[in-house]
Amino acid sequence: MRVMGILNVTPDSFSDGGSYASVDAALAAAERLLAEGAHLVDVGGESTRPGAAPVDEEEELRRVVPVLQALGRRGLPVSVDTRRAAVARRAIEAGATVVNDVSGGADPAMFPLVAASGCTYVLMHTRGTPATMGALARYEDPDAEVWAELEARRDAALALGVRPEQLWLDPGIGFAKETDHNLAVLRGLPRHTAAHRVLVGASRKRFIGALTGQADPAARLEGSLAVALWAAQAGAYAVRVHDVAATVRALAVWRAVAGEA
Ligand code: HH2
């Protein structure tokens, strides 16, 4: 299973985002994640936490492009976490090979860009925007509804020329989902991993804090590892995590027990 290591270049991560000092810090952090065993570093310049304020395009570009260029010059495996086709385009020019889009292709220019560039594209399930998704977390059957909506977006991407082998599908843990919805979706994973390359992003998320009584995201390691191992057992293709070294070690033991190559 692939491990995508998270590199946030938001101001709360690097107080002077965009300066040389922060680019160097980001480069060092990316190299550390890869040395720890990440297959890919996911660079994001916009927080998508529930209720997060949107970042304008110019600011997002200012945060991520210098970092992506620095990573690209080193030839490091990079994905860009963005909802904007314009940002994705600049990222691909800088050497990113994966576009990770938490909006599920809301930007009308996104699917055509993905089709033309041939990049790998992570298509994630959500409803609404980070500002509105909380109110949209209403489901009768979360697993069935999430995957029906995700497959509809997949079909829209294919209709615009994206090829099936470019796609990873992500049920969007924590996006327009409460704890019970996240658990239902995770429980349903084995039903979907044969048909799709599935990415699971549960690392340090709020539902793990709710289940373990940990308000501090950094104290959610054990719960995050539990979900990563569940995802591996369910046949997921990739996990998106903050704690790369611990995840890689946990997966090594899981792999040995499971008898996976
Ligand atoms: N979750 C976040 C961001 N990007 N991408 C994918 N494919 N799947 C996810 O579940 C996912 C994602 C959460 O974002 P945020 O709250 O900004 O925090 P962080 O980037 O530290 O996870």
List the chain residues with pLDDT less than 50.
14-20
CB 4 within 8 A of CB 242: no
Long-range contacts of range 7-11, CB-CB < 8 Å, 24 or more positions apart? Answer: 7/33, 7/41, 7/42, 7/43, 7/44, 7/67, 8/44, 8/45, 8/47, 9/43, 9/44, 9/45, 9/63, 9/64, 9/67, 10/44, 10/45, 10/46, 10/47, 10/63, 11/63
Q: In this predicted structure, what is the pLDDT of residue 10? A: 81
Ligand 1 atom at minimum distance from 172 CA? 10
Pocket test for ligand 1, best of 9, 80, 240 (most atoms within 8 A of CB): 240
Ligand 1 atom at minimum distance from 48 CA? 17
Q: What is the pLDDT of residues 90-143, one digit of tens each?
A: 999 999 999 999 999 999 999 999 999 999 999 999 999 888 999 999 999 999
> Which residue carries 């059957």 as its tokens?
141
205 is catalytic: yes
pTM for the whole structure:
0.95
Catalytic residue among 205, 206, 220, 255: 205
